[in-house]
């Protein structure tokens, strides 16, 4: 946690002081801050929102708000991730993680357009835009959608006001102050800011896609009554995949999210235990002749995701 926050705030602090005069260094500091942003999101915020960062509710509640510090909204994330994604994993129209804008097709049950034939080529660029969309329009769109679905009970004006204030605070220290104080062209600062978010968006989206949108995973469809005829634990095993399980560096940096099967089965358990739990889960799945989806390394997982994107597009 300490490393994550230092990586995020130290470069931004230097940028806000105006002591940097090199455009190349401005880009480097923004990208370094982006690394910290990824680490906060995956190591701190993610566990805290699941109640898994600490045994004390106080720390989970307040560290969950760290998502607000990187421009997004923690309350809406809980609805999208904890409620919809974890409950209805890989179910089209319900799981928002596989319900992107029409330009992408991430489920075999979603409508296919002609442009999808090329999605395995352009999807990576779209992924890079995800956090930029998140900090600008996505939260507001999702708020009203979740409100209509009855998933948010809070008063609209108060919640929108809170959201706007948090985002203004974020834009102030991440973009406006550097523009004011840095002795470089404002366009360089804006471009560096966008570059940071492009890298963050690309990396984080790929990590989450490798866990569910790969050839080995299943995309269940509800029956005529709107129900999934399956056991919940079995559903999580069939719709989720692990990758690079032997990479300790990867696991440390992305908060154990390479052990997605274990995370989906035990979301309230701290990710530091997933490596040990995974061996038990794998053996139990083998005992009951249930498929345990895992790719040995990051490259193989990305290759599989690209292959499925191409297949879904055609």
Angle between helices 139-149 and 156-171 (to 10 degrees): 160
Integer angstrom CA distances of residue 34 from 189, 213, 255 = 14, 25, 16
Q: What is the pLDDT of residue 225?
A: 83
Tens-binned pLDDT, residue by residue, of the chain (314 aa): 999 999 999 999 999 998 999 999 999 999 999 999 999 999 999 999 999 999 999 999 999 999 999 999 999 999 999 999 999 999 998 999 998 889 999 999 999 999 999 999 999 999 999 999 999 999 999 999 999 999 988 888 999 999 999 999 999 999 999 999 999 999 999 999 999 999 999 999 999 999 999 999 999 998 888 888 888 999 999 999 999 999 999 999 999 999 999 999 999 999 999 999 999 999 999 999 999 999 999 999 999 999 999 999 99
Q: What is the pLDDT of residue 224?
A: 82
DSSP assignments along 62-86, one per residue: HHGGGGGGGTS-HHHHIIIIIIIIH
Query: What is the Cα–Cα distance from 303 to 261, expressed in whole angstroms?
Result: 19
For 126, what's the count of Cα atoms within 13 Å in the CB-facing half-sphere?
Answer: 16
Q: What is the pLDDT of residue 229?
A: 82
Q: What is the pLDDT of residue 312?
A: 96
Q: What is the pLDDT of residue 197?
A: 97
Q: What is the pLDDT of residue 156?
A: 87
Q: What is the pLDDT of residue 26?
A: 97
Angle between helices 298-313 and 119-128 (to 10 degrees): 120
Q: What is the pLDDT of residue 244?
A: 95
């Amino acid at each position: 946690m300490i490393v994550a926050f230092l990586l995020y705030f130290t470069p931004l602090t230097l940028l806000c002081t105006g002591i940097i005069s090199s455009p190349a260094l401005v880009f480097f500091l923004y990208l370094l801050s982006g690394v910290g942003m990824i680490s906060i999101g995956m190591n701190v915020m993610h566990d805290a929102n699941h109640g898994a960062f600490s045994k004390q509710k106080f720390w989970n509640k307040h560290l969950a708000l760290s998502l607000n510090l990187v421009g997004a909204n923690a309350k809406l994330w809980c609805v999208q991730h904890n409620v919809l994604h974890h409950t209805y994993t890989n179910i089209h129209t319900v799981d928002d993680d596989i319900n992107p804008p029409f330009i992408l097709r991430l489920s075999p049950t979603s409508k296919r357009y002609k442009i999808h034939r090329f999605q395995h080529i352009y999807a990576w660029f779209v992924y890079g835009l995800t956090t930029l969309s998140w900090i600008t329009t996505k939260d507001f769109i999702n708020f009203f959608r979740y409100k209509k679905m009855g998933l948010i009970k809070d008063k609209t004006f108060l919640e929108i006001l809170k959201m706007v204030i948090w985002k203004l605070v974020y834009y102030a220290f991440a973009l406006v102050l550097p523009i004011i104080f840095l002795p470089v062209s404002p366009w360089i600062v804006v471009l560096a800011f966008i570059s940071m978010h492009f890298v963050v968006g690309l990396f984080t989206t790929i990590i989450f896609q490798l866990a569910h949108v790969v050839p080995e995973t299943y995309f269940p469809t509800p029956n005529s009554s709107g129900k999934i005829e399956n056991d919940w634990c079995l559903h999580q095993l069939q719709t989720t995949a692990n990758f690079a399980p032997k990479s300790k560096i990867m696991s440390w940096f992305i908060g154990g999210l390479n052990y997605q099967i274990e995370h989906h089965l035990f979301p309230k358990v701290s990710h530091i235990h997933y490596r040990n739990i995974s061996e038990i889960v794998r053996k139990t799945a083998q005992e009951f002749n249930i498929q345990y989806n895992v790719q040995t390394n990051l490259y193989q997982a990305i290759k599989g995701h690209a292959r499925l994107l191409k297949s879904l597009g055609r």
